[in-house]
Structure 1
Amino acid sequence: MFSLLLVLVVLTQQVASTQVEDFVECEPVDTACECDADATVCIFQLYIERVFTFTKYNYSVPYSHGQGESYHINNMGQFVPLRNTERCIEGTFTKQTGSGSSDNLYCNEENVCLPKSKLCSEPITVDGKTYKTVITVNKQLPGPTLIVHEGQVVAVDVHNNLSTEGISIHWHGQHQIKTNFMDGVGLVTQCPIQPGSSFRYIFKAGPSGTFWYHSEMQSQRGIGLFGAFIVKEKDPISYPVSFIDDPAHHTLTIMDWFREDPEQFAIV
């Protein structure tokens, strides 16, 4: 027990001494977030929320505040607001670096730039017909792909914005040597993160490979609480042919989809 506490203290001290550049901004517009290869510690923020499908939400407001705008799909395959109003603007916008503005600007390919408060998520359609609540990670389903490097200390702050459900995140495939208490198995290796609470997972990334993170509570991973987790090799293998290593665009995350809530199929 003493040795486990010592490991946690050492990892916590490493995180506490981290410089600003080691924090990875994982915005709702980022489908993949990668830590700098030279960073000793990699810190992410994950916000867990419930949303309705076929609904847009403003990026600057938590979904639980009821700022959704419902949409339907017309015969042309276009999203049409049910109330003929536009609370925010959808599209592919990327954060503009070095803007110097207190309210960061996000720009699209046409060089149209907007503050985050004017942007909204694209409606989550899943199977294109089911209207129900799902769980998102940073306003996405599936959650963003997290990319780190072998041997880095990974710190992930998970914020539970669900109304009534506890959550825990399992880092599938990570060996968690001496940090089994960060393995995220709810009611086994940790108490669930309660609604309105946050918890910081701290562990060393290893082994390298393509893995995933997902909820270990109830059937939450079946309605969206999951995403890819990639650990890049410390010493990349040299191949006889060249290829582009771009996990942000080359990683496909899939799920089984139930039109009904998965809890209805649980065996009691």
Structure 2
Amino acid sequence: MTTLNPRPLQCPLCTTAFSGWVVLASQDRGPMTSDLRRLPEGDDPIPRQVNGCPSCGYTGEVSAFEEHAPQADHAVPARLAGAYFSQEELEDAHDPLIADRPSAQDTTLASEVQLHLRPRAPEAHEDPALRYEHHAQICRWLGDGPLREGDAWLRGAWLYGDRGEQANEERCRARALHCYRTGVAERHWFGRREDLVVVAYLIGELHRRLGEAEEAGRWFEQAVTWSSGLQSMQELVQLAERQRSDPRDIV
């Protein structure tokens, strides 16, 4: 079972004090969705795993406000700057044919948070799905990599799906898909081949849920190929093969 405890927190960027949550989770044994979300038997820890400052919009787990809190002047290189809440925003921002826009500049974490997250900070403090969207931006600005950013987008998609907001769910799934595909293309974010297999499977499942069955099948097949010789991945291999021929939303 999951234990959720209130925790007083202080924002490392703007020093605002607020009440957050610390999540103490044991192994959940509820059903699993085909995009690898373990459904809880009791309280769902996901909405409270990430806390959000109500003043500036900085987000993170409890440790991101305490022992692993970043400095406000943490450097954000130009290539990671900006906030993209849809795949269309990201693609437009990086389209070389759109010339009438200022080029990105090196900046700081506090500046990016102030510019992009502060306007909706009170809303994100109360709304866990939006909070994960903000957290995805934080992951990118901190240089945590596309896999961590993708995980945040996927969790946001789950929470939007829980309340029936299909357009927002699909928007977040598309962002998660882009991040995971970027991680696979860059490859150095993976410490183990097992993790590469899991992400390849997730890419397939995200394509499937976005209505792209042919591309989904290619990635399910890729996950099976990359799992060769990994006995510990056989359950996932069986799931990939099933999703290719008889897809379902629950494992």
Q: Which band: TM-score by shorter chain?
A: under 0.3
Higher RCO (CA < 8 A, seq sep 6+): 1
TM-score relative to the length of structure 1: 0.25
Q: Which has the higher helix share?
A: 2
- Give 1 or 2 for the bigger CA radius of gyration: 1
Q: Which has the higher strand share?
A: 1
